[in-house]
Structures are given as C-alpha cells and as structure tokens.
C-alpha cells in the first residue's frame, strides 16, 4: 500500500470532519447499557435531522402501518439500528456533499452510493442478515474514498475517473496499478479516523473483495459488494455484463434464484427513487425499472442457456478426463478395455471383423536412461499423437501401458489391418521427436496384428489381446521395427 499517499489524503485540510451529532450518536451506541432516551434526545436536539428521519420513517420505503411522530416512537417501532443508521446516513451524506469539488460532480458518486445502499439493505433483508441497516450505511459510504481522493489529488485523480468511465471495478484495478492504493483502503482509513464501528469499516474496506472480510462480517460485506453491482445495473450505459454478474453472484453467494433476482431489482429501483427524494440526491436520468426488468428476463434466458452449455462442457471434460491418458491424450487402459468388449460383442453379433494393432516402442528404456524421463515423456506424447493423426478415423488409439499402445479398428480385415500397421510403422520411424531444446530423437516400434473375423477362433476379447501380444513378440524376435500378423491355425477338415 502507498502509505505516503494515504497519509496525504488523511491529512488533507479540505477533508470534512465528522459532525458533532454523529460522533455523539456513535459514542452513545458504544456504551454498555445503551440509553435509548439519551439517543432520542440527542437526535431530537437537531430539528432538521429529526424532521428528515421522521419523514423517511413515514415514507413508503419503510411501509409502516401507523404514523410515527417522535424519534422516541421511531426507536420503539423500528429499533435502534434503523434510527441510528438514518441519523448517521443523513449527517454523513451532508458532510461529504459539502466536500464537493469544482473539478468533479460528487452527485455521480452519491447516485451510485444510494442505489448500492438500498440494494445492500434489500439483499440483506432477503437472505436474513441481521446487520441489514449497517449494510445500508456501509453501501452508502463504500465510495467515501473516491470523494477523499478527488479532494486530495484533484485533476490527477479526476482524469483517472474519466478514463475508466462508469466501470467501478475498472476504477479499483486502475487505482491499485497506478497509485498502489485504492479507494476502499482510503475509505477504511477515513472511517477509522471518524471512529465508525467495525461493522461499517470492514464492508467499506472489502467491498471489492468480500471474501477477505472477517467471517463474522462476511455476509454483510457480500451484501454491500452485491449492492454495488446492482447499482451498476441501473447506472451504467451498458449494463448487460453487470446484470449477468449480479444474477450469477446472487445465486452463487446467497442461493437467490433468477426470478427472485428480478424481484430484487424492482424493489431496489423503486426504493431508491423513493429515498433519493428524502436524501435530496438527484438520481439524474436513470433507466426505467420496467426496461431493466425486460432486459433482466433476456439475460436470464442467456444465463440459463449458458449454464446448460457450461454443464454440458463440464460433463464432457469430466468424461474425457475419465477416459483419457493424462500424459499422452490417447484413450486410457480402462476405456480401451470397455470399448474392446463392446466392439467385440457387436462384431460377434454382426459377423463382422475387428482388428487390433498392438505396438511397443523399441528400446524405449534407453531413452529414459540416456536422456531422462522428461525426454521419455515427450517421446510417448509424440508417439501417441502420430498414431492418432494417422490411424483410420473410426479407430480407437489407446495407451495400453508404459510404451505400449494399441489401435483398435472395427470392420477391418486381417490384410487391411496389416497394411494400416505398416503405414503407421513407416510414419513413426520417420518422425522427428523434439525431446529437448537441442535434442531431436527418432524411434521405431515393433507391431503385432490380430483380427477377429466375427465367426471363428477367438471366443473372448482377451484372446484377441493375447494374440496381438504374441505377434509383437514375433516382431521383436525378427529384429524389431517390423510388423507381424497373428494367423490362427484352423484345424483341417476331416
């Protein structure tokens, strides 16, 4: 973190101080055995603040069934947290607003913060987080650091804001890259300077990285982070990406499904418009809630389709992992065995041929002994690729074990399989293998061919494997780098 820059920001004389009434409310709430009457009296001593709180409490945003006429009554009906949050919200917003700068319109931040605050509270309420009022206030103050950096750095920071536009995540990353400090860290330091409670400090600090918040405050911080994403849905010119992220993260973080996500957006949009009047914040020209909901439905369809595609791709990868040799990419031994049994049964049922080529890399052990196992691995990988690139399209190429590979080919007669084996042998023998930066090797292979004709001799799949294996031994005995075919002896007719 850029400590000198942080010190510069915190010591900037243009930064506002925490109002006396806010400090008194915070101190009263910290005391053991909170005196509700004293808090009510403190807030009531500021007529303008009391009027704003009562007007808010009696608005449709809270939806109370009976009017509230005093701060004491509000404390009884809504509880300490709600009234404390409103008192701090009005005083802090007023304080920060007075710190505006001629180089930058702070209403841009206030609009986003208000949407984020309403969204954070709505999400917290939806999932039953106890600190829903604190989530509102933390959402309102999450970009406190932006205002502080505008005040301190002036045009340097305003230019950065202009470069990133309405992409809040991009702003955070640009700050960290260019200034080695971000607005979340500055906001945390300013909140601590104002002696705000930890339940507000932590969400301000971690609203871009909620997973790093302390466990006790993680859920509230996640609500604040998602509140910021919801604000982007309403305020960004192109909100499709923000909408997709919000719907996806609501589901993964809190299990909120797609239909509930659209309900939340409607609640957030209407709630923000209502409470913006009470905070005297101009939300400017924002997108109509109905338009956003229509777009949300389109996004939901895209998300649903993408989820299905992701599931299909995930299943494909899992299936491939289960059937492929990790080193060479050829089929593994288990998949070969399963396929051989299935194809053998089909060949028997259809009286059709099934051919198997088994090959063994000649003197492969000497490669490992002379050049090392990494070079040996590259030889095996190249050998597998050569086989897969040159075997018939319908064939299955598998790593049988060590340097042994097999090519299983349905519908191919013994002479045709022998021709394929010879072709593969020639390609292998002429293939350069880049075993290391300055090491190019060539290897050869001994090959055995066995064919089940669908009628005679072989009764079980393992007999076909044994026959191909015997043919490989015959190839090695003949001097290696050659093909030998297993020809079963058919008893003469009597």
Every domain of the chain and the residues it spans: 3-16+99-311, 333-485
Give the pairing of strands 433-436 and 404-410: unpaired
Burial class (CB in 10 A: 0-12, 13-18, 19+), 456: exposed
Looking at the predicted structure, is the pLDDT value of residue 371 above 60? yes
Coil, strand or helix: which one is 237?
A: coil
Q: How far apart are CA 359 and CA 62, in angstroms?
A: 78
Work out the average pLDDT over 11-39. 79
Q: What is the pLDDT of residue 306?
A: 65
Q: How far apart are the two ends of the chain, measured CA to CA in Å?
A: 95
Q: What is the average pLDDT value for the chain, to the nearest integer?
A: 86
Query: Could you count the other beta carbons within 10 Å of the beta carbon of residue 394?
Result: 10
pLDDT tens track for 266-295: 889 888 888 888 888 877 666 666 676 666
pLDDT level of residue 156 (50, 70, 90 thresholds): confident
Q: What is the pLDDT of residue 493?
A: 46
pLDDT tens track for 101-146: 556 677 788 888 899 999 999 999 999 998 888 899 899 889 988 9
Percent of the chain with pLDDT over 70: 90
Phi, psi of 471 (to 5 degrees): -65, -35
Which range has the top average pLDDT, 72-76, 240-244, 405-409?
405-409
Q: What is the pLDDT of residue 494?
A: 42
Phi, psi of 404 (to 5 degrees): -95, 135
pLDDT level of residue 162 (50, 70, 90 thresholds): confident
pLDDT level of residue 447 (50, 70, 90 thresholds): very high
Q: What is the pLDDT of residue 310?
A: 67
What six digits make up the tokens of 128? Answer: 């039953």
Nearest Cα to Cα of residue 226 among 175, 176, 268 = 268
pLDDT level of residue 426 (50, 70, 90 thresholds): very high
Work out the average pLDDT over 1-21. 82
Question: Which range is least confidently modeled, 53-62, 68-77, 304-313, 319-328?
Answer: 304-313
Work out the average pLDDT over 344-364. 93
* CATH fold group of domain 3-16+99-311: Hypothetical protein af1432 (1.10.3210)
Q: What is the pTM of this model?
A: 0.59
Q: What is the pLDDT of residue 400?
A: 93
| Distance, CA of 45 to chain centre | 50
Q: How far apart are CA 28 and CA 30, in angstroms?
A: 5
pLDDT tens track for 174-227: 999 999 999 999 999 988 988 888 989 999 999 999 999 999 999 999 999 999
Work out the average pLDDT over 239-260. 83
Q: What is the pLDDT of residue 418?
A: 96
Q: Which CATH architecture has domain 333-485?
A: 2-Layer Sandwich (3.30)
Work out the average pLDDT over 5-22. 82
Work out the average pLDDT over 457-486. 94
Q: What is the pLDDT of residue 46?
A: 85
Work out the average pLDDT over 440-445. 93
Q: What is the pLDDT of residue 322?
A: 81
Looking at the predicted structure, is the pLDDT value of residue 158 above 70? yes
For residue 105, list its beta bridge partners.
Answer: none
């Amino acid at each position: 973190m850029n400590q000198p820059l942080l010190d510069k920001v915190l010591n900037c004389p243009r930064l506002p101080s925490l109002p006396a009434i806010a400090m008194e409310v915070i101190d009263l709430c910290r005391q053991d055995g909170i005196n509700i009457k004293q808090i009510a009296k403190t807030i009531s001593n500021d007529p303008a603040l009391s009027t704003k709180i009562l007007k808010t409490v009696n608005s449709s945003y809270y939806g109370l069934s009976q009017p509230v006429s005093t701060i004491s009554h509000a404390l009884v009906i809504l509880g300490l947290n709600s009234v404390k949050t409103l008192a701090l919200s009005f005083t802090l917003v007023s304080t920060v607003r007075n710190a505006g700068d001629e180089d930058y319109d702070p209403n841009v931040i206030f609009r986003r913060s208000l949407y984020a605050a309403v969204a954070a509270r709505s999400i917290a309420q939806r999932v039953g987080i106890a600190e829903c009022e604190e989530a509102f206030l933390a959402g309102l103050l999450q970009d406190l650091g932006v205002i502080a950096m505008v005040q301190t750095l002036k045009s340097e920071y305003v230019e950065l804001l202009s470069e990133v536009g309405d992409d809040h995540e991009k702003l955070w990353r640009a700050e960290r890259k260019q200034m080695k400090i971000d607005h979340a860290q500055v906001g945390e330091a300013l909140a601590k300077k104002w002696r705000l409670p930890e339940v507000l400090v932590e969400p301000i600090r971690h609203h871009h990285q909620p997973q790093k918040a302390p466990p006790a405050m993680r859920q509230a911080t996640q609500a604040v982070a998602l509140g910021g994403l919801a604000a982007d849905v309403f305020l960004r010119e192109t909100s499709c990406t923000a909408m997709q992220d919000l719907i996806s993260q609501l589901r993964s973080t809190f299990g909120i499904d797609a239909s509930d996500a659209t309900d939340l957006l409607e609640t957030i949009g209407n709630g923000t418009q209502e409470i913006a009047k009470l905070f005297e914040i101009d939300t400017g020209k924002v997108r109509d809630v109905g338009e956003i909901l229509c777009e949300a439905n389109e996004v939901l369809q895209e998300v649903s389709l993408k989820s299905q595609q992701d599931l299909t791709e995930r299943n494909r990868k899992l299936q491939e992992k289960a059937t492929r040799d990790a080193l060479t990419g050829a089929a593994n031994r288990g998949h070969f065995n399963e396929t051989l049994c299935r194809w053998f049964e089909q060949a028997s049922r259809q009286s059709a041929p099934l051919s198997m080529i088994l090959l063994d890399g000649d003197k492969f052990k000497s490669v490992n002994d002379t050049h090392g196992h990494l070079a040996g691995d590259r030889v095996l990988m190249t050998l597998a690729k050569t086989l897969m690139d040159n075997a018939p399209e319908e064939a299955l190429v598998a790593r049988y074990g060590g340097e042994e590979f097999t090519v299983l080919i349905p519908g191919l007669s013994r002479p045709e399989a022998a021709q394929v084996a010879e072709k593969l042998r020639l390609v292998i023998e002429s293939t350069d293998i880049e075993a290391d930066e300055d090491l190019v090797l060539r290897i050869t292979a001994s090959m055995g061919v066995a064919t089940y004709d669908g009628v005679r001799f072989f009764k079980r799949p393992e007999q076909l494997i044994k026959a191909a294996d015997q043919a490989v031994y015959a190839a090695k005995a003949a001097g290696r780098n050659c093909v030998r075919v297993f020809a079963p002896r058919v008893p003469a007719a009597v």
